Amino acid sequence: MQPEPTAELRHRTVEAPAGRLHLVEQGTGPLVLLVHGFPESWYSWRRQLPALAAAGHRAVAIDVRGYGRSSKPEATDAYRMLDLVEDNVAVVRALGEESAVVVGHDWGSNIAAASALLHPEVFRAVGLLSVPYTPPGGPRPTDIFGQLGGPEQEFYVSYFQEPGRAEAEIEPDIRGWLAGFYAALSADTMPARGEPDPHFVTRGGGRLRDRFPAGSLPAWLSEDDLDVYAGEFERTGITGALNRYRTMDRDWEDLAPHRGAPIKQPSLFIGGAQDASTTWMSDAIDAYPTTLPALSASHLLDGCGHWIQQERPEEVNHLLTDWLATLQGPTRHGC
């Protein structure tokens, strides 16, 4: 059972380097900033906002730049990681706070990690969902992903690189595409272990959606939920979201001075045991004693896919609130 809300959800926009950032907040107390991934919005945290508020926190879920009601800069390089980190800092300041715990899912996990790495004076702890932390460095990202599809297939990250290409597939039927993408990464609708993961590659110049699983929506996603997500992208388009993938090599250059750097603040990781992100990146999880030396705990939820805080909200809420209770909350400033 979900806790009763302590206050109504409050929508507002704040000034940020992006121009305008939309956020939704609930509760009072130490600030917890929630950062969504692809292809989602603040709504991905709808189950966490009341739970964190009931536990005595000021929970704030943002629309990342390019998503929802936040500004959508035109330039591709406006979606660099450095810019997204500065957006997070601006939100904390605009809310009248000096520091926050930052929690991210999917791309939001990478954004949260980079925020903690680059601004430890602002982000006093970091929670990572689904995508493990890997320090900056290593081979150039597009070189890595370009090798994953094989000679006759193309990995989805590579497929997203060319401006306009993925848009031509997605935007004529955003609702149907989102339903297939969400299903492909959900524990109850993804292919059985040992079978190909159809959403990760295109075949013979085809489309990603040609290999999405057919059938019903995953259990966590209602028709009404899908309407919310689709409505946001039908209004804003998908380009801003895809531009995050198109700046990965630039991030690699920007973050080169932090090559191999650990995150030293208190941290938490929660992943799904059936999520490809945790199986592909199992070495990153194994390296946590070095890369996350102040890690409180690392959890893999059995029978859970990628959309972890939506597939298993009660477990995730319990793990988050228990972890947050171990952190020393700052004196609150502002309103």
Q: Is pLDDT of 5 > 70?
A: no
The active-site residue out of 22, 36, 199, 306 is: 306
Active-site residue 210, yes or no?
Answer: no
Q: What is the pLDDT of residues 93-149, one digit of tens each?
A: 999 999 999 999 999 999 999 999 999 999 999 999 999 999 999 889 888 887 776
Q: Under 8 Å CB-to-CB from 213, ≥6 apart: which residues?
A: 180, 183, 184, 189, 190, 191, 198
Half-sphere exposure in the Cβ direction for 212 (13 Å, CA): 21
Q: What is the pLDDT of residue 9?
A: 96
Residue with tokens 């704040």: 14
The active-site residue out of 63, 87, 106, 275 is: 106
CA triplet 201, 130, 88: central angle to 5 degrees? 105
Nearest to 164 by CA among 261, 262, 59, 237: 237
Active-site residue 106, yes or no?
Answer: yes
DSSP 126-152: EEEESSPP--S-SS-HHHHHHTTS-TT
Q: How far apart are CA 25 and CA 14, in angstroms?
A: 12
Percentage with pLDDT > 70 across the chain: 91
For the chain, which residues make up each domain, given as ranges?
Answer: 10-325
**CATH assignment of 10-325, given 3.30.1540.10, 3.40.630.10, 3.40.50.1820, 3.30.1050.10?**
3.40.50.1820
For residue 277, give both structure tokens: 């992100």
Mean pLDDT within 219-241: 97
Q: What is the pLDDT of residue 151?
A: 67
E strands, 99-246, where? 100-105, 123-129, 153-155, 201-203
Q: What is the pLDDT of residues 59-90, one digit of tens each?
A: 999 999 999 999 999 999 999 999 999 999 99
